[in-house]
Amino acid sequence: MPSPLALLGRISTRSPTFGWGALFALVALVAPVTACSLDNPGTDPPSGRLHFPIALEVDDTRLFVASSDFDLRYNGGIISAFELARIDAAIDEADASSGCTGAAPCTIEDIAPLLAQPGAEVKVGAFAIDLALSTQRRRMFALVRGDGAVVSIDLDRDGRAMSCFSGSPSGAARCSGRYLRGKTADQTERRIVLPAEPQSLVVVPLAGDGEPEDPDDPDSPPAERQALVVAHSTGGRASLFLDRKAEGESVLPTLVHVLDGMSDGATVATYDRATGLVAVANRANPVVERIGIADDPNIARSYLFRGGDVSLQGVNTGRDARGMIFEPDGSRAYVVQRSPGSLMRIDLRTPRFESALELCPGASLMTERTGELPDGSVRRRFYVTCYDAQQIFVVDPELGEVVNVIRTGGGPHELVFDPRADHPRAYLADFRDSVIRVISLDPSRPETFERVIAILGEIRTVRGLD
């Protein structure tokens, strides 16, 4: 197992950037740990509490949060599942008693009662960096640097439980070795392991995904056939896992190939449904590199291949891209650049750089939503989280304009949207304050539309993470 100081060197490039003062402060925190006996199991991450939340996912009943244990205070991170209905009830109660407005959001410090019971938490290694739901939402995949693996977590939709171990332990249990995919060479025919510094994870559906598992029974559950592509922040590599059930194959994701020769410094991987390719942005070169998946019936013969680069030249160097969105028809790509803060529009048919829109400093990630606005119109909007500016920039891609700025405070990072039509809202992971901020997207309440209305968790601000 790597030492805490070795792990400290693996600070994520997907995370916000940190100053030297923060690094020295973290070394001071870690030093007492390294002085202890190596046999000391350490302190378990606390249940029902967030600790540097960095990645989110949401299905129709739960909000999943990965706490990264960034400062190595504990012996690992934790993935928590919060029941959306319990979040609703807590916000409604707070709103009824004190009012939840954009000027004075409700604070719900005790979030343990919001956990989806039982089996609402599982423990993983330090530095969880990304979460992704499987195509049919029966599994959660967590990219965990401290484990050096993709952690595969089974989801029990009826029982609300998460499982990545054998048996039924009480409380939050640590995921066992079998579920840490890519960690050991004996899990794959090619005798390979996941390379260092996994950075971003994307799920890609494969042919046959969603069809009945039993061809003779159209009412059987839909099959899950998917690939997992991991981009690495060092070494210029991308890794391919296949997660499909067939005769003689594993029922857990299997690492089958590592592609070399890509640009160093990958930041984010995104699936382009129009082309079926995975696009990888990076900090080193002004290009987005596209890779395809050769899905052979023999799992050991499957591989990744290069699918062509897209130039980002046009704004400064075009480097340090942090987020991508593709038009559904494949005609254009929108790419967020961290420095200078800008949103680039690329015509993929030419291909050529079209325009750039000035954004905030320190952009982190970008996501999109189409929904109703207070004026009754239905618009598509991009939401760019800005860690350095403590804001979210809202962009209308059709107008090519910034149409709103949401002030968040703290350290805004990943944003996900509630899929339920009767609860239009977004959930924001605040890395610096170790809370989840809830943003209203309810068009019937224009006074709070696109404003933070609730804070889930106790604010514990860490200084120096700028």
For the stretch 102-113, pLDDT in tens is 788 999 999 999
Q: Please report how many Cα atoms fall inside a 13 Å half-sphere around the Cα of residue 405, on the Cβ side.
A: 10
pLDDT digits (tens, 9 = 90+) for 370-389: 999 999 999 999 999 999 89
pLDDT band at 314 (very low <50, low <70, confident <90, very high): low
Q: Which two tokens stand for residue 110?
A: 């005790």
Residue 204 lies in a domain: no
Q: What is the tens place of the pLDDT at every residue in 257-272?
A: 999 999 999 999 999 9
Per-residue pLDDT tens digits for 58-84: 999 999 999 999 999 999 999 999 999
The enclosing H or E element of 37 equals none
For range 1-13, the mean pLDDT: 39
Q: Which has the closest alpha carbon to 266: 242, 241, 291, 238?
A: 238
pLDDT, average across residues 124-143: 94
pLDDT at 50 > cutoff 60: yes
Q: Quick check: is 307 in a domain?
A: no
- Cα within 13 Å of Cα(2), Cβ side: 17
Burial class of residue 84 (count of CB atoms within 10 Å of its CB; 0-12, 13-18, 19+): buried
**Cα 20 from Cα 321, distance rounded (Å):** 23
- Residue 28 belongs to a domain: yes
Q: Is residue 37 part of a domain?
A: yes
**4 pLDDT above the threshold of 70:** no
Backbone angles phi, psi at 404, to 5 degrees: -165, 155
| Position 200 pLDDT exceeds 70 | yes
CA-to-CA separations, 28 to 42, 99, 158, 431, in angstroms, rounded: 17, 41, 44, 20
Do 234 and 265 meet the contact criterion of CB atoms below 8 Å apart?
A: yes
**Does residue 334 contact residue 272 with C-beta atoms inside 8 Å?**
no
Establish if 404 belongs to a structural domain. yes
To the nearest 10°, report the CA torsion of 195, 198, 150, 269.
-120
In a domain, residue 408? The reply is yes
Domain that holds residue 2: 1-126+150-169+359-466
Residue 235 — left, alpha, or beta (φ > 0 → left; ψ -120 to 50 → alpha)? Answer: left
Buried-exposed string 131-142: b where 16+ CB fall within 10 A, e elsewhere? bbbbbbeebbbb
Q: Return all residues near 402 (Cβ < 8 A) that are at least 6 apart.
A: 357, 359, 393, 394, 395
- Percent composition of the chain: helix, strand, coil (DSSP 3-state, to 5): 10, 40, 50
Tokens 């959001």 locate to 105
What pLDDT, on the 0 to 100 scale, is given for residue 29?
45
Beta-carbon neighbour count of residue 46 at 10 Å? 15
What band does 30 get if pLDDT is binned at 50, 70 and 90?
A: very low
**E-state strands within 373-462:** 378-386, 391-396, 401-407, 412-417, 425-430, 435-440, 451-456
Instruction: Count up the domains in the chain and report the number.
Output: 1
Average of pLDDT values for 4-29?
Answer: 41
The reply to whether 72 falls in a domain is: yes
User: Are 188 and 255 contacting, i.e. CB atoms less than 8 angstroms apart?
Assistant: yes
265 versus 3: which is more confidently predicted?
A: 265
Query: What's the mean per-residue pLDDT of the chain?
Result: 86
pLDDT-derived band at 338, boundaries 50, 70, 90: confident
Structural domain contains residue 301: no
pLDDT at 19 over 50: no
pLDDT at 159 over 70: no
Residue 316 or residue 373, greater confidence: 373
Across 177-204, average pLDDT: 93
Predicted confidence band at 16 (pLDDT cuts at 50, 70, 90)?
Answer: low
> Alpha-carbon distance 203 to 206, whole Å?
10
Strand partners, 162: 155
Element (H, E) at 22: helix 20-35
Token couple for 56 = 């989110």
Residues 6+ away with beta carbon under 8 Å from 298: none
Find out whether the peptide bond into 340 is cis, omega within 30 degrees of 0.
yes
Length of the chain: 466
pTM: 0.89
Rounded to the nearest angstrom, the gap between the alpha carbon of residue 436 and the centroid of all alpha carbons in its chain is: 14
